[in-house]
Amino acid sequence: MSMSSLLVTLAGFALIAWIVWYFWLWKDEAVSAATGERGVQEIEVTVRGGYQPSAIMVQAGRPVRLNFTRREASTCGEEVVLPDFGKRAHLPQDQTVSIEITPARPGEYEFTCGMNMMRGKLIAQ
């Protein structure tokens, strides 16, 4: 094998490694909701400069409980809106507010702050 083809091969491996790493990291951002009693999928979401986690994996057709807690004085996140479900809620600082919804079909369902600045999504499968 010549030096140049060896370098091309190494570059190819590096690219593959980068792609694998990139997609693993990207997938890691989406956190799966835990299924608790009565089959309700439940997850804690912290509101602080954004939603953590901002991508939540759930199963379609089953109830989901999102427990939002705003951990900042900024009023940006004091309201959370789930337009696909016609729901909105006021989030007092340091108090947990639960919102229950059921994504009927697989798809992505966004949730935002009242000003549509902070964004998160449910990924129903």
> Residues interacting with Cu ion, by CB under 5 A?
76, 113, 115, 117
In the bound state with Cu ion, the residue whose beta carbon lies nearer, of 77 and 103, is 77
To Cu ion, the closest distance from the beta carbon of 116 in angstroms equals: 7
Q: Which own/partner contact pairs does 102-107 have at CB distance under 8 Å and 24+ positions apart?
A: 102/61, 102/62, 102/63, 102/64, 103/58, 103/60, 103/61, 103/64, 104/60, 104/61, 105/60, 105/61, 106/60, 107/60
Closest approach, Cβ 50 to Cu ion, in A, equals 10
Q: How far is the CB of 59 from Cu ion (least distance, A)?
A: 29
3-state DSSP percent of the chain in helix, strand and coil, to 5: 30, 40, 30
Residue nearer to Cu ion on the CB measure, 62 or 88: 88
Residue 14 or 115 with smaller CB distance to Cu ion: 115
Nearer to Cu ion, 32 or 46 (CB): 46
Instruction: Give the integer Cα–Cα distance in Å for 82 and 97.
Output: 14
**Apex CA 57: angle with CA 56 and CA 63, to 5°?**
95
Least separation in angstroms between CB 74 and Cu ion: 8
